[in-house]
Homo-oligomer: A and B are copies of this chain.
């Protein structure tokens, strides 16, 4: 986290901030399709090469903009696993049900999967909630509230994957009932029962 003390003229912090702000505004107002380097340069009053020095293309810029203003859904207060998980899923879905959710999905789809930028984006924006969910499940298992006999990674994908699925495919709505049902089914699969 220490500044590497690079030589020469340092990047203009203000310019960088204005670039990200402009990118984010365009993203929410016009969508990912309109997020071009030209448009961001024009809107932020910055030259194109200034942008290209920091980001290789428009989709990296989009990811940076989305990361710079994203809380990251992690919270999940509550005593029982069900209440904590339900709370998290509801706020996750609420955050993704907006236009921004679709922008995130489009950005991810368009991004180079190998890029370091993409990996950071994945971890911070996409997978952070999944990690929080893993913690919740492991704690509950330690309390004996559930039995994790199945593959935990797959179970997590079955909880968080459907959100993306509906977001991208759009065959059914993203609402709170969806959040509740996912949790209910997932808990059914890991219920600690007598019959075994």
Q: Which residues of A come within 8 Å of B, CB atoms?
A: 33, 102, 105-106, 108-110, 113, 122, 126-127, 150-151, 153-155, 157-166, 168-172, 178, 181-182, 184-186, 188-190, 193-195
Q: Are A178 and B154 in contact (CB under 8 A)?
A: yes
A162's contact among B102, B127, B157, B194, by CB below 8 Å, is which? B157
What are 28 inter-chain pairs, A to B, with CB distance below 8 A?
A102-B113, A106-B110, A108-B109, A108-B168, A109-B110, A110-B110, A113-B170, A127-B169, A127-B171, A150-B184, A150-B188, A151-B181, A151-B185, A154-B162, A154-B181, A157-B166, A157-B172, A158-B186, A160-B165, A161-B163, A161-B166, A162-B162, A162-B165, A164-B164, A164-B165, A165-B165, A168-B168, A193-B195
B residues within 8 A CB of A189?
185-186, 188-189
Query: Can you name the residue of chain B whose Cβ is closest to the Cβ of A179?
Result: B154
Shortest beta-carbon distance from A172 to chain B in Å: 6
Main secondary structure of the interface of A (DSSP, over half): helix
Shortest beta-carbon distance from A171 to chain B in Å: 6
Shortest beta-carbon distance from A124 to chain B in Å: 12
Kindly name the residue among A151, A153, A159, A161 whose own CB sees the greatest number of chain B CB atoms within 10 A.
A161
Measured between alpha carbons, how far is A188 from B168 in the docked complex, in Å?
27
Measured between alpha carbons, how far is A163 from B158 in the docked complex, in Å?
9
Measured between alpha carbons, how far is A159 from B154 in the docked complex, in Å?
10
Q: Are A169 and B122 in contact (CB under 8 A)?
A: yes
B residues within 8 A CB of A194?
195
B residues within 8 A CB of A169?
108, 122, 126-127, 164
Q: Are B106 and A181 in contact (CB under 8 A)?
A: no
